[in-house]
Amino acid sequence: MGYVVKSCTKFAISFLLMSFTLNVNSYEFSGRKWVGGKATIYTSIPGISDSGIAWNTALLNAALEWDQKTAFNFTILPIDRDPCVADGLNSIKFTSDLCGQRFNDATLAVTVLKYKEQELGPDAISEADIFVRDDISFDIFDGDLIQAGATVPRVDFKRTILHELGHVIGLDHEESKAAIMQPKISDIFSLQPDDIVGVNKLYTGTSNCKVKELNIGLTLESLNLPDCTVKDLTLGGSDDSFIDLYRFKISAPSIMDFAINSTELESVLIIADTDLNYIAVDSDTSDGCNAVLKAEVSAGDYYLMVNTFDKQIKQQCELVGQYELTANYVSESPIGLNLQANADNIGLNSKFFGSITADKGETYGNLFSPKDSLNISASIMINQSHRGEDGFIVVAAVIDDFIMLLNEKGQFVEFSPTASSIIPAVEKKLAEVEDIEIASNLVAEDFNIQTITVNFFVGYGLTDDWDRIYTHSLPLNLTISSGSQTN
């Protein structure tokens, strides 16, 4: 993609040249891109080309082509902005110079990009301004640059802007395959497969990494081959440190409390939204290999990233190794037990919810003290085809490898999958929503319990298919710790 001139002030300038070329190349990019895969451009170009098409129409069509064929999205607002003003806004303008600097004679247009640092990977694009020479004989047309019967050389404005918008997105010049992003204008007037693949690759880095559902409570994992790397995720830069991605959803403002405990892995914790805006980071290297991160987040979808450094900092802390991830939360509302039903029940439209509260519904969470009086409940939105059928509800409490099932007397009894049949909490005709009281006014201290972790699962089955249970994949976690404070 032509040549890029960089400066220490984090600018990049890309030029489109007038001379033709026979060779153009496979997609190229540095990994620098917009957070969220979208940008708003302010421009209002007056006038109409000789072919009768307004300049603004050609611009809108060029932006629409990128929108429809790639993962990137442009918003064009008909407001004029000065591209020479560092206002954080993106603009396009016909101009006689580059903010006082003379255009190169072979240049049709210039795109100037500004960047900001990111927690991971290359800098993000923060502003883009396109300068189009106003002394060029621009028109708007498809097809060959030199057309039969033409007496005056013309330059197609739309393909010029289509190319410059590619730079705005983050593409560099192409040198080996046919593409609108070749460094010199040619007979190509629309996006080519190479352009489209390049943008989609640049803005779909999370598809390179396995994304796991976050387990509230304790997770045992490791950073090591064949894990994803930061370079895989951000598609640029040289950071080959490993990273694990966990997805979680918050239905109300919540305080999330994460901790990594490891004797061997130099740990870093990061919270990001699904656009990879980095919201909170713990990269403290002062105390052992562990990491702790506590943040208040609003309702929405997020990633928790477990990362390390790209270079070893402390002798006792490696860049690969096992870790224990603890996730706790306090929220104003109950949480969904997971985003979908268990993977064994693909196509099931049932939804599962669970909650634990120590203050009769003022707040919900999973970490409590032994003195707290807890109410634990769950509900199931039954799959539509199962409503009105004879069935049963099952509630399981799992402590390490020990399983107990709630019986019809409201007591938890030991269950062995190899030696026992399913013990239902209740048998009934299944309603649209089944509400389940797991425990009421439960105080761990009354049972001489100071520390315990219990994972609850709820599910249901049909009487004529007793061995099949419809349930969820992630548990409702309860952690009792003598060192915790009441929510």
Find residue 218's DSSP bridge partners: 326
**For position 418, what pLDDT does the model report?**
73
The torsion angles phi and psi of 122, rounded to 5 degrees, stand at: -65, 165
pLDDT digits (tens, 9 = 90+) for 100-127: 999 888 889 999 999 999 889 999 999 9
* Long-range interactions of 47-56: CB distance < 8 A, separation 24+: 49/138, 49/139, 49/140, 49/157, 50/139, 50/154, 51/139, 51/140, 51/141, 53/140, 55/94, 55/138, 55/140, 55/157
pLDDT digits (tens, 9 = 90+) for 38-87: 999 999 899 999 999 999 999 999 999 999 999 999 999 999 999 998 88
pLDDT digits (tens, 9 = 90+) for 417-461: 776 788 999 999 999 999 999 999 999 999 999 999 999 999 999
> With bands split at pLDDT 50, 70 and 90, how would you rate the model's confidence at 5?
very low
Cβ contact 49:206 at 8 Å: no
Please compute the mean of the pLDDT values over residues 226-250 and round it to a whole number. Answer: 92
Write out the E strands in 155-277: 155-156, 211-213, 217-223, 243-250, 254-261, 268-273
Please compute the mean of the pLDDT values over residues 399-417 and round it to a whole number. Answer: 91
More confident residue, 223 or 3: 223
Angle between helices 157-169 and 193-202 (to 10 degrees): 30
Least confident stretch, 6-10, 203-207, 222-226: 6-10
User: Measured between alpha carbons, how far is residue 105 from residues 80, 109, 236, 255 in Å?
Assistant: 26, 11, 33, 58
Please compute the mean of the pLDDT values over residues 353-373 and round it to a whole number. Answer: 94
Going from the N-terminus, what domains does the chain have, and what CATH number goes with each? 4-202 (3.40.390.10), 207-331 (2.60.120.380), 341-480 (2.60.40)
Is the pLDDT at 144 greater than 90? The verdict is no
Please compute the mean of the pLDDT values over residues 5-21 and round it to a whole number. Answer: 43
**For position 26, what pLDDT does the model report?**
45
**For position 236, what pLDDT does the model report?**
83
Find residue 133's DSSP bridge partners: 95
Is the pLDDT at 263 greater than 60? The verdict is yes
Report the share of the chain in percent with pLDDT over 90. 70
> With bands split at pLDDT 50, 70 and 90, how would you rate the model's confidence at 219?
very high
| Global confidence as pTM | 0.84
Is the pLDDT at 346 greater than 80? The verdict is no
Residue 287 in tokens: 């105390």
**For position 250, what pLDDT does the model report?**
87
More confident residue, 333 or 302: 302
Least confident stretch, 152-156, 276-280, 288-292, 373-377: 152-156
Least confident stretch, 83-87, 137-141, 332-336: 332-336
**For position 37, what pLDDT does the model report?**
94
Is the pLDDT at 485 greater than 90? The verdict is no
Is the pLDDT at 160 greater than 60? The verdict is yes
- Site of tokens 């997770």: 219
Is the pLDDT at 16 greater than 80? The verdict is no
3-state secondary structure of 483: coil
**For position 4, what pLDDT does the model report?**
26
**For position 241, what pLDDT does the model report?**
95
Is the pLDDT at 151 greater than 60? The verdict is no
> With bands split at pLDDT 50, 70 and 90, how would you rate the model's confidence at 486?
low
> With bands split at pLDDT 50, 70 and 90, how would you rate the model's confidence at 33?
very high
**For position 14, what pLDDT does the model report?**
60
**For position 343, what pLDDT does the model report?**
47
Q: What is the mean pLDDT of the chain?
A: 87
